[in-house]
Amino acid sequence: MGMTEQKNLGQLVQGHVKWFDPGKGFGFVVSDEGGADILLHANVLRNFGQSSVADHAKITVMVQETDRGAQAVEVLSIAAPEGDGEPVLEDLAGYDAATLEAAPLCPARVKWFDKAKGFGFANIFGSSDDVFVHVEVLRRSGLSDLQPGEAVGLRVVQGKRGRMATHAASWEAAARAATSS
């Protein structure tokens, strides 16, 4: 009996995102233990509160074996890919990490984002000022893309050329952070 119950709940797997394509609606996770790639469907990611995830992001998922191989059925956590510790952008070079981390996570709505150009803009709720969002900030936040109208949490500082995001989080992650502080 124990084995069947275990199988229905799935298996806890820690690994990293091999790749994820929001356009195709899926991607793959590689377990730290090795083995076959694990399918990560966009709906499972959306249930976690994200529309995208950065390649190489650390991820913990519940996995079930299906006729077509291993599939993630629930995302439990996502951590940004290991960075090199350098400031993300030249515009942020004057800020230390503690200052950037201390900025509050503000609710924002994506105006537009062009992954090919490597940037986009969002607006903090209650303000019409544009906030610059660079693709590298997204990547280091564990995201890979943003959709117009998507709700996100942004840490924002005044950069050399205006307001800019230093960190982005899914709306659900931002909401969790707001209730825990």
Residues 113 and 161 in one domain: yes
Confidence label for 149 from pLDDT (cuts 50, 70 and 90): very high
Range of the domain at 17: 8-79
pLDDT score for 92: 63
Write the CB contacts of 116 (distance below 8 Å, at least 6 apart in sequence).
none
Mean pLDDT for 115-129 is 91
pLDDT band, residue 40 (cuts 50/70/90) = very high
CATH number at residue 75: 2.40.50.140
pLDDT score of 6: 42
The answer to the question of residue 3 being in a domain is no
165 vs 146: CA distance, rounded Å: 13
pLDDT of residue 83: 60
Q: What is the pTM of this model?
A: 0.64
Higher per-residue confidence, 24 vs 174: 24
Residue 2 belongs to a domain:
no
Report whether pLDDT(1) > 50: no
What is the pLDDT confidence band of residue 4, given thresholds at 50, 70 and 90? very low
The label of the residue with tokens 């990293």 reads 16
Burial track 22-47 (b if 16+ CB lie within 10 A, e otherwise): beeebbbbbbeeeeeebbbebebbee
Q: What are phi and psi of 143, to 5 degrees?
A: -110, 165
- My answer on whether 32 and 109 are in the same domain is no
* pLDDT for the residue 3: 43
| 14-28, 48-62, 163-177: range with lowest mean pLDDT | 163-177
Q: Identify whether 106 is part of a domain.
A: yes
CB 142 within 8 A of CB 54: yes
Count the alpha carbons within 13 Å of 5 in the hemisphere toward its beta carbon: 2
Q: Give the chain's mean pLDDT.
A: 83
Tell me the per-residue pLDDT of 166-176, one tens digit each, with 9 for 90 and over. Answer: 889 888 776 76
Between 173 and 7, the more confident residue is 173
**Burial class of residue 168 in the structure, from the number of CB atoms within 10 Å of its CB (0-12 exposed, 13-18 middle, 19+ buried):** buried
Answer yes or no: do 100 and 21 share one domain: no
Query: Does 144 fall in a domain?
Result: yes
At residue 88, the pLDDT reads: 52
Location of structure tokens 């090795």:
34
